[in-house]
Chains A and B, each alone.
Chain A
Amino acid sequence: MLFKKETSEANAGTVRTVRPSVDIQELPTAYVLRLDMPGTVKDAIKAQVNERVLTLSGKVPAYFKQDAALIFDDSLPTEYQREFTLADNIDTQSVDAAYELGVLTVTLKKKEQYLSKEIAVQ
């Protein structure tokens, strides 16, 4: 037992911010972002836009209780955070976010004037 540290001792007050992996797809009228943020909950996720910077974050409750003796770990996040600078063609008023299966999906609509459209020739 001498060399097994209690997680409470090992992790006390440690903040581990993980930068989530992201997929970005461009659709005709919007951009869709998918971020891997397992282990958080909807209410603990924040999506904020400030000066064209989109900040996505989420707190993660501890995977283990205080009395656990950690054997090994690949990833013990306490929070996720990632920022994106939004181009001029994105309507910052239209940020939509959904969380399912540990994946955060964010949809950003393009501004009307940037959408391609056909003009009928008279």
Chain B
Amino acid sequence: MIVRVQSMPALFNEVFGASQIFDQMFPRSYRAGARASEYPYVNVAEYKDEVLVVAEVPGVPKENIKLQLHDGTLTISGERKTPSGENGTWLRNEISYGSFSRTIELPDHVNIDKVSAEYSNGILRITLPKSEEAKPREISIR
């Protein structure tokens, strides 16, 4: 099942996929600002202990990427520079260059003090450990 946000209205009334039901089933934070036409492409998955964000940022060295956590959101911004060197004739240009910025809303049970990020082969992996109260735990029955 692949759910995709088709558009992102200003208010949090967007619908995941085709079914309104999803909108009601997911907590607000899971309907964070994903939009297929936005750059960079972002994928988010949840594990038992952490949330993992995988962003595709090809052609951008890590020095040119900035990550900011603010008020429950994660912003990935930076600049993709036009390749220098050869000055040929452009026959095709499908890749966009210039500044980019994308903000996604984080699930509110993430411990923002322990966020880590790594970059390799055009992929940015951001690991957000869950806060203690969000981890699954067993409750003993007395």
Contact = CB atoms under 8 A, between A and B. Distances in A.
* A complexed with B: yes
Interface of A: 2-5, 7, 10, 21-28, 31-32, 34, 36-41, 63-65, 67-76, 99, 101-103
A64 B121 contact: no
B88 A32 contact: yes
Which residue, A64, A72, A102, has most C-beta atoms of chain B within 10 A? A72
Given A3-B25, A26-B89, A68 B61 contact: no
User: Interface residues of B: mostly helix, strand, loop or mixed?
Assistant: loop
Contacts of A71: 30, 32, 44-46, 51, 107
Given A38-B57, A68-B52, A103-B59, A74 B36 contact: yes
B10 interface: no
A67 to B, nearest CB: 7
Contacts of B36: 74
Contacts of A7: 45
A106 to B, nearest CB: 13
Interface string B50-82: 011010111111000000000000000000000
Interface residues of B, number: 46
B51 to A, nearest CB: 8
A64 B43 contact: yes
A28 B22 CA distance: 55
B83 to A, nearest CB: 7
Contacts of B88: 25-28, 32
25 contacts: A3-B25, A7-B45, A21-B95, A25-B88, A25-B91, A26-B91, A39-B56, A39-B122, A63-B45, A64-B54, A68-B45, A68-B46, A69-B47, A70-B43, A71-B32, A71-B46, A72-B3, A72-B16, A72-B43, A74-B38, A101-B121, A102-B56, A102-B58, A103-B58, A103-B122
B73 to A, nearest CB: 15
